[in-house]
Structure 1
Amino acid sequence: SWLFSEYGSNFVKTMLRLAKERDSLSIVHDQTGCPTYAGDLAHAIISLLQQPTSPRGIFHYCGNKSATWYEFTKAIFQTAHQLDDSFRIPELNAIPTDQYPLHAPRPAYSIMDCSRLENEFGIKPSDWKRALREILRKIN
Structure 2
Amino acid sequence: MNKTLVFGGSGQLGQCLQHVAQQRSFTDIVFLPEEQANILNPDILRTTFEQHRPAYIINCAAYTAVDKAEDEVEIARKVNRDGAENLARLCGEFGTTMLHISTDFVFAGTGNEPLLETDETAPISVYGLTKLEGEQVIPAHTERYFILRTSWLYSEYAGNFVKTMLRFGKEREEMRVIWDQLGTPTYAIDLAGALLHIIESGSTAYGLYHYSNEGVTSWYDFAVAIFELGGLTTRTVPIRTAEYPTKATRPAFSVMDKTKAKTALGLAIPHWRTSLVECMGRLGE
Q: Give the TM-score, by structure 2 length.
A: 0.45
Distance in structure 1 (CA, Å) of the matches to 2:177 and 2:247 = 16
Give the structure 1 partner of residue 262 of structure 2: 118
- Relative contact order (C-alpha < 8 Å, sep 6+): which is higher? 1
Q: Which runs of 4+ in 1 moved over 3 A?
A: none
Q: Which residue of 1 aligns with 2:244?
A: 100
Q: Name whichever of 46-55 and 115-124 sits farther off.
A: 46-55
Amino acid across the alignment from 1:31:
Q
d(CA) in 1 for partners of 2:170, 2:228? 14
**3-state SS of the aligned residue for 2:209?**
coil
> What CA distance in whole angstroms lies between the structure 2 residues aligned with 1:66 and 1:135?
18
CA offset at residue 121 of structure 1?
Answer: 2.3
| 2:271 counterpart (115, 124, 127) | 127
Structure 1: gaps spanning 5 or more residues: 82-87
Identity %: 39
Question: Using a 3 Å threshold, how does the CA distance of structure 1 residues 41 and 53 change in structure 2: closer, same or farther?
Answer: closer
Over 3 Å counting, the alpha-carbon distance change for 1:8 and 1:53 in structure 2 is: closer
Q: Deviations over 1:106-138 (max 9, x none)?
A: 000011111101112220223321221122122
Corresponding letter in the other structure for 2:185: P
Tell me, in whole angstroms, the C-alpha distance in 1 between the residues paired with 2:243 and 2:155: 27
* Aligned-pair Cα RMSD in Å: 1.2
**How many corresponding residue pairs?**
134
Structure with bigger gyration radius: 2
**In 1: Cα distance, 2:203 partner to 2:246 partner:** 42
User: What is the rounded CA distance, in whole Å, between the counterparts of 1:131 and 1:6 in structure 2?
Assistant: 12
Amino acid at match of 1:132: L
Matching of residue 33 in structure 1 with residue 183 in structure 2 = yes
Offset at residue 10 of structure 1 (A) = 0.3
DSSP 3-state at the match of 2:207: coil
**TM-score, normalising length: structure 1:** 0.90
How far 1:73 moved relative to its partner?
Answer: 0.6
Q: How does 1:1-140 map to 2 (within 5 A)?
A: 1-81=151-231, 88-140=232-284
Q: CA deviation at 1:61?
A: 0.3
Tell me if structure 2 keeps the 8 A contact 1:24–1:91.
yes
Give the letter aligned to residue 106 of structure 1.
R
Deviation, structure 1 residue 53: 3.8
Higher mean C-alpha deviation, range 112-121 or range 128-137: 128-137
Secondary structure at the counterpart of residue 65 of structure 1: coil
5+ long unaligned stretches in structure 2 = 1-150
Q: In structure 2, what residue type is equivalent to 1:89?
A: T
